[in-house]
Amino acid sequence: MAKALEGVRVLDFSRNYAGPLCTRILAEFGADVIKIEIPQGGDGLRNLSPQTEGLESYPFVILNRGKRSITLNLNSEEGRRICKQLVNISDVLVENFTPGVMENLGLGYEQLKKDNPGLLYVSISGFGHTGPYRTRVAYDTIIQAMGGMISVNGQPDSPPIKVGVGIADFLGGLFPVIAVLAALQYRSKTNKGQFIDISMQDCIWAITAIQFLGHYVTTGQEPPKLGNSQIEVTPFSIYPAKDGYIVIAIVTVGQWERLLRIMGREDLKNVPEYGTQLTRIKHAELMDSIVTEWTREKTVDEIIKQLQAEDLPCAPIPAFSQVANDPQLASRNMNVYVEQTISGKVRVPGSVFKMSETPGDPTQPAPFLGQHNAEVYSELLGYDQETIGKLQLEGVI
C-alpha cells in the first residue's frame, strides 16, 4: 500500500506524550521518523507504567510505533555536530523542550535554517515561544487549567476536575501534524521551510472557546459548569435509568417531537418556550427533569430500544472493558497487535486513518533504545562500524 509521506524524514527529539503522538502519526503515514534519545535512559516515557511482560512501557509502545531509535548526547560538542549533519538531510524536526533549551544548544530554528532553509521546525511547549508564560514548565493538567477547560468541567458544585484523558498533551500532538502537512504543501510550491510554534495552552483554549467564549462575551458572566449537559442544546445529557445510565442527545425539532411522543408528553409540543433549542435552552433544568422522570422508570435496554426505533440518538455507558472489546471497533480494526522485539505481541489501538489509497499503518513496532544506531549512522552519515564503536565508547551515542 502506498504511503502518503514516504520520502519525508523526521528527526524526533520529543519526549513523553505530545511530541511522540505527533511523530507517531507522521510515521503512520510513512515518514521515516528517527527518534533521537539520550544515551542513558532515553525518553522518560520508557519508564512509565503499565509495562508489558517484557518490561516495556505500554504508553511508550503505543506512541512510538514505526520509528527508528538512535542515541545522541546533545550536551557534547561532537553530538551537536552529528545532530547538525542529520538536520541538514532531514525535512522535519520535532521537539518539545521548554523554549530556549534548543537555542542554548545551538540547535534552534534560526541557527539550523542557514544550512537547511527547507527545514520544518516544530516546537511544542506549554505556552509557546512568545508571551509572559513562555519559560514556564507545563504538563497536561496545568494546561487544562490555564486553557480554561477545568473552569467549565465538572458538576456545578464540584471542586475543580480535570478531563480524564491527557487531552492537552494529545491536542498538543494533533495540531502540529496539521501544521506539518500544511507546511509541506507550502514548501512544495516555494521551497521554503518554516518555524511551527505550538502552544498547548493555545490548543486547549481554541477548543474550549468554541462552546464557552460566546456565553462570556454576550453575558459578561463566567460560563457555568454543566456536568453532563451541554451549554447550547437540551435535552442532551446522561440520564439515570432503573439499572444504570443512558446518553440521550436531542438536537433537532423533529427529534424533540419524536421524544415527546415516546415519553407521552405531547402536551409540551406546542409550548412556544420549548419549541426550538434557542428558547428551550433557557429551561434546561426543567427539560432534564422531564426526561429523568421518564428514564427512571425504565431499564437502559428498554430506553434504547424505544429511542432507536424512532432513530433518536442515544447510547449506554459501557465500561472500559466493554469498549476495549466493542464489535464496532473490532470491525474497523481499531485493536491490532505489534510484534515487539523484547515483549512479543502487544495489543495497541489501530489507525483512525481509513483512506482508500494511503491508509495509516499502525502495526509497526516501537524500537528499543538505540536499536537503529548502526543502521542510521551508517546509512545516512556513512559511518563505519569502527567510528560508531568509538562514538559509543566516548558517550556521544
Please report, for residues 222, 256, 259, 300, 317, the alpha-carbon distance to residue 296 in angstroms, rounded to integers and kept in the order given. Answer: 32, 19, 15, 9, 15
Is-contact 185 97, C-beta < 8 A? no
Strands 68-71 and 92-95: unpaired
Eight-class DSSP state of 234: S
Q: List the chain pLDDT tens, one digit each, 397 residues.
A: 789 999 999 999 999 999 999 999 999 999 999 999 999 899 999 999 999 999 999 999 999 999 999 999 999 999 999 999 999 999 999 999 999 999 999 999 999 999 999 999 999 999 999 999 999 999 999 999 999 999 999 999 999 999 999 999 999 999 999 999 999 999 999 999 999 999 999 999 999 999 999 999 999 999 999 999 999 999 999 999 999 999 999 999 999 999 999 999 999 998 999 988 999 999 999 999 999 999 999 999 999 999 999 999 999 999 999 999 999 999 999 999 999 999 999 999 999 999 999 999 999 999 999 999 999 999 999 999 999 999 999 999 9
Structural domains of the chain in order of their starting residue, each with its CATH number: 9-207+328-393 (3.40.50.10540), 236-320 (3.30.1540.10)
Give catalytic residues, as residue numbers: 169
Among 171, 177, 129, 121, which Cα is nearest to 149's?
A: 171
